[in-house]
Amino acid sequence: MAGPLAAVCHKQGKHLGKMEALDFDLRAEANLMALTEEVVKSSAIEGEHLNPKEVRSSIARKLGLDVAAIPEPGRQPRVLSR
């Protein structure tokens, strides 16, 4: 288990290093996309299928990001309040 975990940590470090080279808006968008994907996939594993656009909107709002053209969250605003 330590081997795969070390590999993931290494890849995460490389990813974070690459993100440092991006400007703030691009970093915020990349983080928003990664968090959205993680929430949607984690929920799917638990048998709950969430609308990615609504999850993205909810996360952006919680992080205080100004993201244009994001739909209002529907009945799943609880995604980040668990």
- Number of alpha carbons in the 13 Å side-chain half-sphere of residue 41: 6
Residue 52 lies in a domain: yes
Q: Which domain holds residue 29?
A: 23-80
Residue 12 lies in a domain: no
Q: pTM of the entire structure?
A: 0.55
Predicted confidence (pLDDT) per residue in 25-71, tens digit: 677 777 888 999 999 999 999 999 999 988 988 888 888 877 654 44
Residue written as token pair 């709950």: 48
Q: Which residues have a Cβ under 8 Å from the Cβ of 9 and sit 6 or more positions away?
A: none
Find, among 52, 64, 66, 59, the residue nearest to 81 by Cα. Answer: 59
Q: For residue 16, is it within any domain?
A: no
For residue 8, being part of any structural domain is answered with no
DSSP 74: -
**Residue 9, in any domain of the structure:** no
